[in-house]
Amino acid sequence: MVAPATDALVADLVAALAPDRVRTGAMELGLYRSDASTLPGTAGVVCFPLTTAEVRACVATAARHGRSFVARGSGTGLAGGAVPVVVDGLPPVVIVTTKMNQVLSVDVDERVAWVQPGVLNLDLTKAVTRHGLHFAPDPSSQQSCSIGGNVATNSGGPHCLASGVTSMHVLAVEVVLPDATVALLGGLDPEPAGYDLRGAFVGGEGTLGIATAIAVRLTPNPPSVRTLLLDFTSVDDGAATVSAIIAGGLVPAALEMMDALITRAVEEFVHAGFPLDAAAVLIVELDGLPAGVEAAVDRVTEIGLAHGARTVRVAADEAERAAIWKGRKNAFGAIARIKPNYYLHDTVVPRARLVEVLRQVYAIAERHDLIVMNVFHAGDGNLHPLLVFDAREPGVLDRVHAAGEEIVRASVAAGGVLSGEHGIGLEKRDFMALMFTPTDLETQGWMRAAFDPAGRANPTKVLPTGSSCGDLQHVPEGAWI
Amino acid sequence: MDLTAFAAEVGPLSAGPVAAAGGLTQWDVGGESTPGTRLVHAPAGIDWIEPAEMTVRCGAGTTVADLATALAEQGQRVALPEWPGATVGGVLAVGRSGIRRLGDGPVRDAVLQIGAVRADGEVVTAGGPTVKNVSGYDLCRLFVGSLGTLVLLGDVILRTRPLPAARQWLAGPTPDPFALRRRLDRPTTVLWDGTTCWVLLEGHPLDVAAEAALARADGLVEVEGAPPLPSGDRRSIPPAEVRHLRGRFVAEVGVGVVHRVAPVPGPQVAPNPSIIALHGRLRERFDPTGRLNPGRSVLTSG
């Protein structure tokens, strides 16, 4: 058992922040020892700064006491990126940015907002809706995930197919670097001098510093939007339709797929009119100017029917469109009706190999006697196989781990990558060598070490042992691969 | 693409100062290389085009024009500026966008994977082949715009986009190019020289016609193409400041790139000391002996 924090550390943090924003109670330490992954960690002390100066104080105080620090937003990450890992017997200082939740400014003309890291993704969009604008990255957790967290993981979402992931929507980041200095990375001008440190920082999973203010690009709401629901009697037909749509020169705003099990679970949950007997459904959203959108609706319909779509339903109004999206975005909630636990994977494969890799995913699950459901960003080739299970069943976790590893290996073998939007964190750290050579990993380690020479920022994450200068730890006992 | 020969040309740490030359179209950016720096050339040629993936792989020495021609045959294009003679590697090493940036985004966003040669002559791969990828650190973005001071670019996988079915340039005097930009839906380009505004509209023919009608209502008329851009000075400023520009210029509205005949004296903003220190640490790690494009300064290239 490790001692969470010394009295001196806590006293220094209290002096820098305030007694009620430095927590050491069992409840807080328990709450902040994990994120939305199932990986366990140990929080030494939990801080809730309100300002950049307070974040600096937390980072500087941690360093003075020889502690590492772990920044976190809402803790919705699935790869264990925000799990505090004990280093040299010392649990980290956890720095929670959720109370830094102000939209600092909105420039409607130039479509830029400055936000604090704790602003929730959907709250920003709600704040600018009256100006006809939105924040494009829309992870399924957008009601609860923070923009600071989106920056850390370079989050995606269904609508990143056409508009791109978080990095493409971040212009500048004010960060507290691991040495407790403050720097502005990027800028509002298009080509700031120097290396693209902004681009390097986004997706750094909290290992390069802590974002304390973020300038994000706001996207004008499209003048015309059409949402289609296509249903298929085979998953292969659905996946082939996805490839054909992209090959046909169309870039839908979103192109999502749900297989039979998840479609039924969702329909029973939200009653959006999803066909209960479909093997797969596709949600295709097309947006832009009206003529282009209508032409694309016709083309998608034609491609779908040519590839075996049983029906193509175009949402008649905003209510019907909202119902379809409610179903998609609440898919993970619907799973609780089937089994109490799930493990969500996130890999990307070339779109043309979706059919083949999906077949392998089903075969892998069957071999391990597990239920798998697929609800994913098909247009990007971004798979999200969900293994559902009951953790009380003896031995089931071992099977889930084994199946998960096989899915990751199959994706990479098909020319894919380890993660499309959830990040590496702890979960996939030891898979990095599947995709990268030792030289590649060493080079990534150079960048990390330039940002964090002392190895204090969220150590043990992203890079496997030996590829960085820090003395990296092993994945905690009981952790999921 | 096999980068073994390129890596051998770069050689090990002991092989002395080296810089990669593309089409030399932006060779002055960041100052001159130290005399005696040996020039190497990345391989040219297109490995493959995957229209259904909307990706292409090519050597960094491929000219953007050749790439554009090959992609056009598949009905696609990339968001790289097609300056005559410019190579893919050169454009990415410098990182500057062309006048389609408002619609296409910055060049860095077109890059999915980079194969490069490090200062020690080892080949490194950054990023991944798929259109979406957050596996590990985003070294690709670090390398784009690094003027060959961190690694030498060897080959790349780029994201492509469908070619628009229709395109139309319009130009004319408009009292408020900023308001016109807001009225249009995602124009590809809006240029302004203080009196005249040029816009490029792309998309479905009916949509382009409808948007063109909005521009005509503002006093613009159909024209053949973009105006000649002054090439004496190129600045990057916050786009909100474009409306306050004076003198002779052509500015990219909504982007903030300003083209002038000659530099305009103005206050030089020194980078923050921790930014300078971070640049120094990156150089130290990636190029401990300072052999990659010595003499160039990325911090003064803007």
Per-residue pLDDT, B32: 87
A397, A431, B248 from A347: Cα distances, Å? 20, 12, 51
- Band (pLDDT 50/70/90 cuts) for residue A469 is very low
Which residue type, as a one-letter code, is found at position A1?
M
Contacts of A169 in chain B (CB under 8 A): none
Per-residue pLDDT, A467: 47
B244-277 pLDDT tens trace: 999 999 999 999 999 999 988 877 778 899 999 9
A374-386 pLDDT tens trace: 999 999 999 999 9
Contacts of A190 in chain B (CB under 8 A): 97, 101, 106, 236, 239, 252, 255-257
Contacts of A393 (CB under 8 A, 6+ apart): none
Lowest mean pLDDT among A350-354, A438-442, A458-462, B37-41: A350-354
Per-residue pLDDT, B301: 52
Checking if the pLDDT of A106 tops 80, the result is: yes
Q: Which of A192, A202, A463 sits opposite B302 (nearest CB)?
A: A192
Report, as an integer, the average pLDDT of B15-24.
96
Checking if the pLDDT of A3 tops 80, the result is: no
Are B37 and B144 in contact by the 8 Å Cβ rule? The answer is no
Q: Which of A160, A192, A450 sits opposite B236 (nearest CB)?
A: A192
Per-residue pLDDT, A338: 84
Q: What is the value of ipTM here, to two decimals? A: 0.97
Contacts of B105 in chain A (CB under 8 A): 164, 168
Residue corresponding to tokens 């899915």: A407
Report the percentage of chain B scoring pLDDT > 90: 93
The residue of chain B with its CA nearest to that of A199 is B141
B145-169 pLDDT tens trace: 999 999 999 999 999 999 999 999 9
Are A95 and A47 in contact by the 8 Å Cβ rule? The answer is yes
Interface test with B, best of A446, A461, A463, A469 (most B CBs within 10 A): A446
Per-residue pLDDT, A474: 39
Which residue type, as a one-letter code, is found at position A392?
R
Report, as an integer, the average pLDDT of B15-22.
97
Q: State how far residue B218 is from chain A, nearest Cα, in angstroms.
A: 18
Report the percentage of chain B scoring pLDDT > 70: 99
How far apart CA A35 and CA A81 sit, in angstroms, is 8
Q: Is the dihedral of CA A258, A259, A265, A271 positive or negative?
A: positive
Local structure of residue A386 (DSSP, 8 states): E
Checking if the pLDDT of A468 tops 50, the result is: no
The helix, strand and coil proportions of chain B, stated in percent and rounded to the nearest 5, come to 25, 25, 50
Q: State how far residue A6 is from chain B, nearest Cα, in angstroms.
A: 31
Residue corresponding to tokens 């430095």: A22
A322-346 CB burial, b ≥16 within 10 A, e <16? ebbbebbbbbbebbeebbebbbbbb
Q: State how far residue B48 is from chain A, nearest Cα, in angstroms.
A: 14
Q: Which of A418, A436, A451 sits opposite B278 (nearest CB)?
A: A451
Checking if the pLDDT of A1 tops 70, the result is: no
Q: Which of A289, A377, A428 sits opposite B204 (nearest CB)?
A: A289
Contacts of B239 in chain A (CB under 8 A): 110, 188-190
Residue corresponding to tokens 């490194």: B124
Checking if the pLDDT of A420 tops 50, the result is: yes
A336-356 pLDDT tens trace: 778 888 899 999 999 889 989
Tokens of A287: 């947006």
Per-residue pLDDT, A466: 59
B175-234 pLDDT tens trace: 899 999 999 999 999 999 999 999 999 999 999 999 999 999 999 999 999 999 999 999
A305-334 pLDDT tens trace: 999 999 999 999 999 999 999 888 877 777
A15-55 pLDDT tens trace: 999 999 999 999 999 999 999 987 889 999 999 999 999 99
CB atoms within 10 A of CB A392: 8
- Contact check, Cβ <8 Å, B186/A288: yes
Contacts of A251 in chain B (CB under 8 A): 54, 161-162
The residue of chain B with its CA nearest to that of A462 is B136
- Contact check, Cβ <8 Å, A220/B186: yes
Contacts of A197 in chain B (CB under 8 A): 142, 275, 278
How far apart CA A162 and CA A171 sit, in angstroms, is 18
- Contact check, Cβ <8 Å, B141/A167: yes
Contacts of B286 in chain A (CB under 8 A): 443, 446
Q: Which of A164, A295, A447 sits opposite B137 (nearest CB)?
A: A447
A284-312 pLDDT tens trace: 999 999 999 999 999 999 999 999 999 99
- Band (pLDDT 50/70/90 cuts) for residue B92 is very high
Instruction: State the distance between the two ends of chain B, measured CA to CA, in whole angstroms.
Output: 32
pTM: 0.95
How far apart CA A285 and CA A251 sit, in angstroms, is 10
How far apart CA B291 and CA B13 sit, in angstroms, is 7
Checking if the pLDDT of B18 tops 60, the result is: yes
A145-185 pLDDT tens trace: 999 999 999 999 999 999 999 999 999 999 999 999 999 99
Query: Which range has highest mean pLDDT (A205-214, A265-274, B293-302)?
Result: A205-214
Checking if the pLDDT of B282 tops 70, the result is: yes
Interface test with B, best of A153, A176, A195, A205 (most B CBs within 10 A): A195
Q: Which of B76, B106, B145 sits opposite A195 (nearest CB)?
A: B145
Q: What is chain B's alpha carbon radius of gyration, rounded to the nearest angstrom?
A: 20
- Contact check, Cβ <8 Å, A184/B139: no
Report, as an integer, the average pLDDT of A424-437.
96
Contacts of B178 in chain A (CB under 8 A): 109
- Contact check, Cβ <8 Å, A348/B133: yes
Checking if the pLDDT of A208 tops 50, the result is: yes
Q: How far is CA A393 from the centre of its chain?
A: 29
Q: Which of B75, B146, B161 sits opposite A251 (nearest CB)?
A: B161
